[in-house]
Amino acid sequence: MHTIISRREMLRVSAGLLAAGVVAPLKTVAEAETRKSVYLPSLHDRARLAIQCLTTHCDASRGYVPYFYTRMSDRPPAMFLAIWSYGDGMGRSLDALALLRHMTGGGLDQPADRVMRAALIGLLGEDGLSWCPAEPWLMPTPHTRPSWLQQGALLAFTTLFQLTSEPKYQHYVERIIQALDERLVRKPGLPATFPGDTYTHLDGWSPASTEPNEPFLLYCASVTMPLLRYYRLAGYEPAFRLASELTDGAVQAFGGGEKFFELGHFHCESRIMISLLQRGIIKNNAADLELGERLYKKARALGTQSGWFPEQVNNPAHNRSNLAETCSLTDMLEAAILLARHRNAAYWHDVERYVRNHLLVHQIIDVGWAKEMTPTPLEKHLLRFNGDDRTCIEGAVRGDSVMPSLIGGFAGWGAVTSMSDDSTFSNCNQHCCNAAGARALYDAWCYAVTEEAGIVSINLHVHRNHAAVEVVAEEAVSPDQLGVLRVKVKQERRLRVRLPEFLSAKEMQVKVNGSSAQARESGAFLDVGSVRPGDRVEVTYPMKARTTEERIAPGVFTFRWRGATVVSASPTQKIRPLFTEDRFLSAPPDIGPIPSREFESL
């Protein structure tokens, strides 16, 4: 027997159920059609842009040596080689290029890559160190430096050894380590250091720098990060010993670490911070980890939540404490990743904000804005090239090809809310930042999804293709501001998703194959449970609006947020505003291929 109820009665009962929360209201077709979603660019697509810069912003006639300095405001723009183009700049480029080739599936056997590798090997001297050749824009005789020239070469050869397992790269790394170890000056009660700044066969060692903003002991310790990375990969004890002596010497010279981030070059000091964290993780040393974390927090206070960090600390000269260096951002990103993995998962919130904001917006994706820059008269410019007074010289390029070669690179001296504040340095680029930003893209991509003991952790809410899962991150911006993480499962695993900042598990909605699923809060993560190949997991959560007012060296800035994403910032500085609507995509981007293997970058 069937009971028949009237339409009026059906509406009355339905309204009661809705009011009681027993059933959820259905979206109408019209409501579904008006829902607007946006997407951030994929790290994969930005990596392809970075590869373009790493392989075009260089002198192909000299083995793809990168042009280190670019004066973007010159008429026409000019780029030129410098001391840092060689072991340091080329080494950084090769390190990032190899990582990004692996990330994008392009392979290491590309013509530019082969030539660049051969050129870097060709800079190695009989003593094992990386040397600069004699060039009109360098010195009249070949020279070497024990610090940054070697750190770039160590970075590159360590990464190439990691990706290829070829013994020759291991040989190059260990020869550099042996040569550095032989030259290190050790005196009782004093920090270990090198004999001088530069060395030539003609004149021997030049005196060590006494510049207070760039302490020589910090320069000496620049090699510690790649040394400890190589030790983690190969267990080569001399690498650990050398890194420890240089790290301890720098810490001793800076009051046990208390004087770090009070004056001088941020990137030099943040490298020591990373080395302390690396060593603490390798040896499970609580003192190193505590000091590294304390330094990270001190450095973090000098920047913004969005990932702007200064090139210089408390240095009023030439506006440089008011400008960001992408190398500084990369160091902070890598330190936050290490802390999140080994100290406190809450540091993933820092990583997420850095990646979604200043890492992406400080990448150069167009160049028309350079025409708005105010030129600095050459005689007053602080970045000079030895051939500036000659119309035709090797080692420099002037003209229309300069700016397009920077597409895919990163801000060398970036403003807070724009690409440039139109000051002299802000209107220039330094290539170390192009390579550092490229490395940071790999860092973010690599650690966005990690797997251990059958558990897949989605650490960052960004697009990522992994052997076990495929992740697409969506932002629904109307009628509600929601984050939507769409996960396609490819291998049977236990799945957990990091809880976004300021949210709890009860604010997260999880569906598996269209049906609501129970998930429990597990520390900083939401434990979804076991998933199988073919499962579709959807995690939805509110993206809370908030406003932060941040006081840093350049002034006070206001940021308006949607979840972890800055949607606007003020005051807007002069050239190429960063936080604009056009940085979002209206459709999901290409998230790239599944990597053949997962290689860690730290």
**DSSP letters of 456-480?**
EEE-SSS-EE-SSEEEEEEEEEESS
| Confidence grade of residue 19 (pLDDT, cut at 50, 70, 90) | very low
φ, ψ dihedrals at 554, nearest 5° = -75, -10
- Distance between CA 447 and CA 378 in Å, rounded? 44
Mean pLDDT, the chain, whole residue set = 92
Burial class from Cβ neighbours inside 10 Å (0-12, 13-18, 19+) for residue 211 reads: exposed
Per-residue pLDDT, averaged over 51-63, amounts to 97
Per-residue pLDDT, averaged over 108-132, amounts to 97
For the CA atoms of the chain, what is the radius of gyration?
A: 26
Q: Where are the beta strands (DSSP E) in 298-381?
A: 312-313
Given this model, what pLDDT does residue 22 score? Answer: 36
Do residues 429 and 451 make contact, with C-beta atoms less than 8 angstroms apart?
Answer: no
| Confidence grade of residue 32 (pLDDT, cut at 50, 70, 90) | very low
Given this model, what pLDDT does residue 210 score? Answer: 84
183-225 pLDDT tens trace: 999 999 889 999 999 999 999 999 998 887 778 888 899 999 9
Could you tell me the fold of the domain covering 83-254? Glycosyltransferase (1.50.10)
pLDDT(596) > 80 = yes
| Beta-bridge partner residues of 526 | 497, 521
- Distance between CA 506 and CA 183 in Å, rounded? 59
N-terminal to C-terminal alpha carbon distance within the chain: 71
- Distance between CA 418 and CA 136 in Å, rounded? 36
pLDDT(9) > 70 = no
Given this model, what pLDDT does residue 211 score? Answer: 80
Write the DSSP string, 388-446: TTSSS-TTEEESTTHHHHTTT-B-SSB-SSEEE-SSTTTTEEEHHHHHHHHHHHHHHHH
Per-residue pLDDT, averaged over 553-577, amounts to 96
pLDDT(313) > 70 = yes
| Confidence grade of residue 25 (pLDDT, cut at 50, 70, 90) | very low
Per-residue pLDDT, averaged over 12-20, amounts to 39
Domain ranges of the chain: 83-254
Given this model, what pLDDT does residue 561 score? Answer: 97
Do residues 393 and 446 make contact, with C-beta atoms less than 8 angstroms apart?
Answer: no
Per-residue pLDDT, averaged over 330-339, amounts to 98
pLDDT(4) > 80 = no
Given this model, what pLDDT does residue 213 score? Answer: 73
Given this model, what pLDDT does residue 13 score? Answer: 37
Per-residue pLDDT, averaged over 417-444, amounts to 97
234-275 pLDDT tens trace: 999 999 999 999 999 999 989 999 999 999 999 999 999 999
Instruction: DSSP letter for 454, please.
Output: T
Given this model, what pLDDT does residue 391 score? Answer: 64
Do residues 369 and 406 make contact, with C-beta atoms less than 8 angstroms apart?
Answer: no
Contacts made by residues 543-551, CB under 8 angstroms, sequence distance 24+: 543/475, 543/481, 543/482, 543/483, 543/500, 544/481, 544/502, 544/503, 545/481, 546/502, 548/305, 550/304, 550/305
Percent of the chain with pLDDT over 90: 86
Do residues 485 and 461 make contact, with C-beta atoms less than 8 angstroms apart?
Answer: yes
Given this model, what pLDDT does residue 189 score? Answer: 87
282-292 pLDDT tens trace: 999 999 999 99
Given this model, what pLDDT does residue 248 score? Answer: 95
Given this model, what pLDDT does residue 392 score? Answer: 58
Q: CA nearest 574: which of 369, 366, 302?
A: 369
352-411 pLDDT tens trace: 999 999 999 999 999 999 999 999 999 899 998 887 877 657 899 999 999 999 999 999
Provide the whole-model pTM: 0.93
